[in-house]
Structure 1
Amino acid sequence: MSSIMKLSLFSILFLSFISLSYHSEAYDRLRNYQRLQLTNAVGPESFAFDCNGEGPYTGVSDGRILKWDGANRGWKVFAVTLQHRREVCDGSNDPSKEHICGRPLGLKFNKKTCDLYIADAYFGLLVVGRNGGVANQLATSAGGVPFRFTNALDIDEKTGVVYFTDSSIWYQRWEFLMAIITGDKTGRLMKYDPCSKEVTVLQNGIAFANGVALSKDNSFVLVAETTTLRILRFWLQGPKAQTSEVFAQLPGNPDNIKRNANGEFWVALNSGGGKLQNSTLSNLKAEGTIWTLESQSLLDDVAALKLDENGKFLEVLKSNNGGRTLESISEVEENDGILWIGSVVMPYAVAYKV
């Protein structure tokens, strides 16, 4: 089947799903969300909850990891990615300082050790203990190739193995538009073994490798391929072990992926304020892929999708809800009856009680 026919069929199926969900409570659920304002920082990209269920914790633009300590206390500093950084970095939202201050993106606690693992865009894979402080660097390269844009991670809670992505071997985070415009396909999916302290490359050649999420039974790991608008599934166990396949084709650019307690996956769709969307569409058209006008309009409207373990669409979140707009969504994390919604550019996190 040609790419045109595949995308046309996908558009029909997805639009049918939208028409069924449009008037549902689920589709409009974020009408009354709560904003949790940050102080002197922006970009709560990702969330994590510790081994006591406290949090969320999130990384922000100046390299700090913050912990939400409740409505009365707000956000407090838990960890930093670099020592002796305060005068230069605290409160910074300057992309030109990111390589100095760090930019923590993916976060996840190992629930057995209570250590927090951090995918920092510039400093690689880091870890910090349960009491916080300055993070320690674990890995900065794989197979002799340095990380350029460490992005997202997830942890196998049985083995402690960390699965993470490097979006490009050429472009750093501040150059992300170049990675998209050039059609760069050098992203990698990797794993870090805390026992051997070795990094293994599982898959090369991923177009802007982004979000990562393990299945509930740890039989496969999902990785977002942002510029192809799809999710890949890399099998870890079973007859397809060590092979990859397309898990889902999406109506927008996938960012982070987070699994909920039911084994379902929330996928944030992030257009980068339109920049990501326009560049992606140009690349797809150059490759001979044709999108319908309806499917292009969906790129502006869908903030996130919930998928089951087979890639079936279960729920849609709109970016505009009752006049309140969610911009540049990077993650949706479902935890204990609350949806936590992050953004790499906004000065607040969003919380909505399910």
Structure 2
Amino acid sequence: MMRKLFLVLGALLALLAAYLCLWPVPIEPVSWNAPVPPGYTGPYAVNQRLAGLRTISLGQESGPEHVAIGRDGRLYTTVASGNILRMAPDGSAQEVFVNTGGRVLGFDFDAAGNLIAADAYRGLLSIAPDRKITMLADRVNGEPIRYADAVVVARSGRMYFSDASTRFGAREWGGTFEASVLDILEQSATGRILEYDPATRAVRVVARGLSFANGVALGQDEQTLFVSETGRYRIWKIALEARDLDITQASPLAQLLFDNLPGYPDNLMRGRDGKIWVGLVKPRNATVDRLASQPFMRRLTLRLPRAMWPIPPAYGHVMAFTEAGRVVADLQDPSGAYPETTGVTETADRLYIQSLHAHGLGWLPR
């Protein structure tokens, strides 16, 4: 009897080992060297400045991932349902402005008042004040734009936007968060920055080689672009004249402005007085950093139940910096009560705090 029991247990263990080692997973992990985390010290010293956020209720909606004030003076925000909400700056008079049928992550307004949207499922869209949706770009050089993430419109009318991953599209892989986890675990660095020229309707690659290309913001002179590289804790400053620039190769056209941040940088938003705000959507995770040079273990991770994945805990953190790379504001809430802080929209009297999953729109008096 005992012999049979041991045989059964041995067979089960063999099956488990075979599953953990051989079961197909979608990622082909690339080894890289994660820098030693700086911790919450220096300009990132632990504080409570983001604690006690006031909240604007969004009803049944969640995930106010991006916030901007339109030319009509009203506040617009995107939410997880695919809706873009419009309201007064105090949160009153809320309405659904439009639903794109996808998930808009970032947006900006052009000179005509059109809302230019980076839709992670569909591509680059233009939404007119009368709510008509026009597709601007869903391909570049014959390849699909799989994960449009953030966009900014220059005074010239040209639009600069991130395609976070050419490997894992948000629609194909279960949503924006799920696809981002796959891309960051793989580290194949296929993210890129694209330019759309409305005069010619042409799309070109500005830069590539980014590990999950995310937030974008224009320099004040509109000669450079600031870019969040979420998967490797970095923020770049890239010349707009760059053409198909591989940022993994040294170039005078790309400057690493912030390296080894204490969290994953997300949205970039121009604030007042020349500053740029960034949200650190999650803190660093020691397990993730240890696995950086262990592709097999990262592959094995995806064979575990999702509850065992090394997803960092919630930790509220946003900061502002100058174009020269000096931190001028740092706001934190270690409790993570307002989760996944993706960015900040600064107005004359408020800071609106963006979030990937929060039920409500956070804000602080400025």
Out of 239, 243, 254, the residue aligned to residue 244 of structure 1 is: 254
Q: Superposed, which structure 2 residues align to 1:22-41 within 5 Å?
A: 27-41=47-61
Unaligned segments of structure 1, at least 5 residues: 82-100, 288-297
**Which residue of structure 1 aligns with residue 167 of structure 2?**
170
Could you tell me which amino acid in structure 2 is paired with residue 16 of structure 1?
Answer: G
Larger Rg: 2
Paired with 2:336 and 2:35, the residues of 1 have a C-alpha distance of 31
1:333 aligns with 2:345: yes
Tell me by how many angstroms 1:74 deviates: 4.0
**Which residue of structure 1 aligns with residue 289 of structure 2?**
281
Q: Superposed, which structure 2 residues align to 1:222-301 within 5 Å?
A: 222-236=226-240, 243-249=253-259, 250-271=261-282, 277=285, 280-284=288-292, 286=294, 301=315
Does the Cα contact within 8 Å between 1:302 and 1:316 map onto a contact in 2? no
**Which residue of structure 1 aligns with residue 208 of structure 2?**
204
Out of 139, 142, 161, the residue aligned to residue 141 of structure 1 is: 139
Q: Assess, with a 3 A threshold, how the Cα gap between structure 1 residues 113 and 134 changes in structure 2: closer, same or farther.
A: closer
Q: Superposed, which structure 2 residues align to 1:66-77 within 5 Å?
A: 66-69=85-88, 71=90, 73-77=92-96
Tell me by how many angstroms 1:29 deviates: 3.4
Other structure's SS at 2:38 match: helix
Tell me by how many angstroms 1:68 deviates: 1.9
Paired with 1:121 and 1:309, the residues of 2 have a C-alpha distance of 28
Q: Assess, with a 3 A threshold, how the Cα gap between structure 1 residues 277 and 147 changes in structure 2: closer, same or farther.
A: farther
Paired with 1:285 and 1:329, the residues of 2 have a C-alpha distance of 28
Q: Assess, with a 3 A threshold, how the Cα gap between structure 1 residues 43 and 268 changes in structure 2: closer, same or farther.
A: same
Could you tell me which amino acid in structure 2 is paired with residue 252 of structure 1?
Answer: G
Out of 336, 342, 346, the residue aligned to residue 354 of structure 2 is: 342
- Supply the RMSD in Å over aligned alpha carbons: 2.8
Does the Cα contact within 8 Å between 1:188 and 1:202 map onto a contact in 2? yes
Could you tell me which amino acid in structure 2 is paired with residue 62 of structure 1?
Answer: S
**Which residue of structure 2 aligns with residue 116 of structure 1?**
115
1:60 aligns with 2:59: no
Does the Cα contact within 8 Å between 1:142 and 1:199 map onto a contact in 2? yes
Could you tell me which amino acid in structure 2 is paired with residue 11 of structure 1?
Answer: P
Does the Cα contact within 8 Å between 1:162 and 1:191 map onto a contact in 2? yes
Does the Cα contact within 8 Å between 2:271 and 2:277 map onto a contact in 1? yes
Q: Assess, with a 3 A threshold, how the Cα gap between structure 1 residues 261 and 18 changes in structure 2: closer, same or farther.
A: closer
**Which residue of structure 2 aligns with residue 105 of structure 1?**
105
Other structure's SS at 1:11 match: coil
Q: Deviations over 1:197-221 (max 9, x none)?
A: 1111001111100000001111210
Out of 34, 38, 56, the residue aligned to residue 11 of structure 1 is: 38
**Which residue of structure 2 aligns with residue 128 of structure 1?**
127
Paired with 1:267 and 1:280, the residues of 2 have a C-alpha distance of 22
Paired with 1:285 and 1:241, the residues of 2 have a C-alpha distance of 26
Question: Structure 2-normalised TM-score?
Answer: 0.76
Tell me by how many angstroms 1:18 deviates: 3.9
Q: Deviations over 1:293-339 (max 9, x none)?
A: xxxxx99655111111111111111124xx67221111111122211
Q: Assess, with a 3 A threshold, how the Cα gap between structure 1 residues 302 and 328 changes in structure 2: closer, same or farther.
A: closer
Of residues 333-342 and 240-249 in structure 1, the stretch that sits farther from structure 2 once superposed is: 240-249
Paired with 1:15 and 1:167, the residues of 2 have a C-alpha distance of 29
**Which residue of structure 1 aligns with residue 305 of structure 2?**
none
Does the Cα contact within 8 Å between 1:104 and 1:120 map onto a contact in 2? yes
Out of 200, 217, 222, the residue aligned to residue 221 of structure 2 is: 217
Does the Cα contact within 8 Å between 1:80 and 1:135 map onto a contact in 2? no
Paired with 2:205 and 2:359, the residues of 1 have a C-alpha distance of 35
What is the percent sequence identity of the aligned residues?
A: 27
Other structure's SS at 1:160 match: coil
Paired with 1:344 and 1:40, the residues of 2 have a C-alpha distance of 15
Could you tell me which amino acid in structure 2 is paired with residue 342 of structure 1?
Answer: Q
Alignment: residue pair count: 304
Unaligned segments of structure 2, at least 5 residues: 1-31, 243-249, 296-311
Question: Structure 1-normalised TM-score?
Answer: 0.78
Could you tell me which amino acid in structure 1 is paired with residue 273 of structure 2?
Answer: N
Q: Assess, with a 3 A threshold, how the Cα gap between structure 1 residues 130 and 160 changes in structure 2: closer, same or farther.
A: same
**Which residue of structure 1 aligns with residue 149 of structure 2?**
151
Paired with 1:350 and 1:185, the residues of 2 have a C-alpha distance of 32
Tell me by how many angstroms 1:28 deviates: 3.7
Q: Assess, with a 3 A threshold, how the Cα gap between structure 1 residues 71 and 263 changes in structure 2: closer, same or farther.
A: closer
Does the Cα contact within 8 Å between 1:49 and 1:55 map onto a contact in 2? yes
